[in-house]
Amino acid sequence: MQPFTPDHETFRKSVRNFVEKELLPHQETWEREKGFPKDVFKQLGELGFLGIAYPEELGGSGLDYWYSICFFEELVRCRMSGLAMDVMVQTEISTPIINVLGTDEQKQEFLVPAIRGDKVGALGITEPDTGSDVANIKTTAKKAGDDYVINGAKMYITNGSKADFITLSVRTGEEGHGGISLVTFPTDTKGFEVGKRLEKLGMDSSDTTLLFFENCRIPQRYVLGEENKGFYYIMQNFQGERLGAAVTCVAEAQQMIEDALAYGRERQAFGRPILSFQVWRHKFAQRMTELEAARQLTYHAADMFVKKQDCVTEISMAKLLASELANQIAYDCLQFHGGAGFMREYDISRAYRDLRLIPIGAGSSDIMREIIAKNKGF
């Protein structure tokens, strides 16, 4: 399926233009310095890239989801998956849940400035002692008058140190999935503390931190949706996050192959370009075939998502296939570069490290297989 109209393609070009002019030139610095200025969110907001599919009355552009896909396919061309991940946390992970569940007041306080790029958002689910097992979170929010008092910690939180607001999963009720709620509140609340910035294998330009909550008091009006329904909201929200992960994996794999082919046309061994060796031509033909299959599955899942059909299985399959395949392609492309592939100055070494996260984050490959198996009835 080829879901893009000429209007999507015009939009795609404008994103590519921005990415090549305003982001790509900073790649080396922002990767080395392990972060990018918060102003980037402002720039993206001014261009309308942070509110592509959000309603116009909230400052969004009211466009269809395929424009968001174009945006992420082009954003990864900045060759900083970390930056792309931070932006995705803003647009596909921390704000959709407010758009769906938020009161008018919550939307005005958090979503509207997030769309403008004036405020940055984060989503805190994972804890030091629990990740995949979302139902087992321990951070508590106890009622005290009109407030909640939050105590606990969250681990590996993207945008953790630059977030102006956070959506947090907290235990407001019984043990297990039935006692979890979501709250969204400003990070300048007393008792909210950003822990150390975590040193990572990759995603260097991304901001990943540990967060602490010590008697962090927020008004109860900051609860999102209904109390104790948080687990279901998190599972719904995962769908956009996982789809976004599949989209970016396919786009990044495409870019790795394009880069490798360009390199292999120039690099000579035994008197000929290394791309002319049949073993490599066949390897890339095979990988391109697999990548096209992953792309089509991803677009199929996106099509179901747009049509609001039940697509949990298809999105899980797309995330599983695209993230595992992108890692295999990263391995092959690095190998194809020889020693150069091991050097940080080559994009392939960064992509190889960055992509390793995707079969782990947002629900690991094992969790995707578990969901698929359950939904298939075994």
Ligand X SMILES: Cc1cc2nc3c(=O)[nH]c(=O)nc-3n(C[C@H](O)[C@H](O)[C@H](O)COP(=O)(O)OP(=O)(O)OC[C@H]3O[C@@H](n4cnc5c(N)ncnc54)[C@H](O)[C@@H]3O)c2cc1C
Instruction: For residue 309, give the 3-state DSSP assignment.
Output: coil
User: Does 131 interact with ligand X (rule: CB under 6 A)?
Assistant: yes
Quick one: 207 or 347, whose CB is closer to ligand X?
207
Please tell me the distance from the alpha carbon of residue 65 to that of residue 275, in angstroms, as a whole number. 37
Binding segment for ligand X among 120-128, 247-255, 325-333, 336-344 (CB under 6 A)?
120-128
315-354 footprint of ligand X as x/- string (CB under 6 A): ----------------------------------------
| Position among 48, 96, 121, 124 found at the interface with ligand X (CB under 6 A) | 124
| Position among 22, 118, 324, 370 found at the interface with ligand X (CB under 6 A) | 370
CA count, 13 A, side-chain hemisphere, 350 = 25
Please tell me the distance from the alpha carbon of residue 262 to that of residue 264, in angstroms, as a whole number. 6
Please tell me the distance from the alpha carbon of residue 226 to that of residue 220, in angstroms, as a whole number. 11
| Position among 52, 123, 218, 351 found at the interface with ligand X (CB under 6 A) | 123
Backbone angles phi, psi at 358, to 5 degrees: -65, -35
Contact 228, 171 (CB under 8 A): no
Please tell me the distance from the alpha carbon of residue 363 to that of residue 378, in angstroms, as a whole number. 19
To the nearest whole angstrom, how small is the minimum distance from the Cβ of residue 195 to ligand X?
14
Contact 170, 141 (CB under 8 A): yes
User: Does 211 interact with ligand X (rule: CB under 6 A)?
Assistant: no
To the nearest whole angstrom, how small is the minimum distance from the Cβ of residue 76 to ligand X?
16
Can 241 be counted among the known catalytic residues?
yes
Backbone angles phi, psi at 182, to 5 degrees: -115, 135
Tokens of 147: 């407030």
Sites for ligand X among residues 81-100 (CB under 6 A): 89
Catalytic-labelled residue, pool 241, 258, 266, 370: 241
User: Does 139 interact with ligand X (rule: CB under 6 A)?
Assistant: no
168-207 footprint of ligand X as x/- string (CB under 6 A): --------------------------------x--x----
Please tell me the distance from the alpha carbon of residue 224 to that of residue 236, in angstroms, as a whole number. 14
User: Does 152 interact with ligand X (rule: CB under 6 A)?
Assistant: no
Q: Closest by alpha carbon to 250, among 215, 307, 290?
A: 290
To the nearest whole angstrom, how small is the minimum distance from the Cβ of residue 159 to ligand X?
7
Q: Closest by alpha carbon to 38, among 153, 183, 168, 187?
A: 187
Q: Which residues are catalytic?
A: 241
Residues that bind ligand X (CB under 6 A): 89, 123-126, 131-132, 156-158, 200, 203, 208, 357, 360-362, 364, 366-367, 370
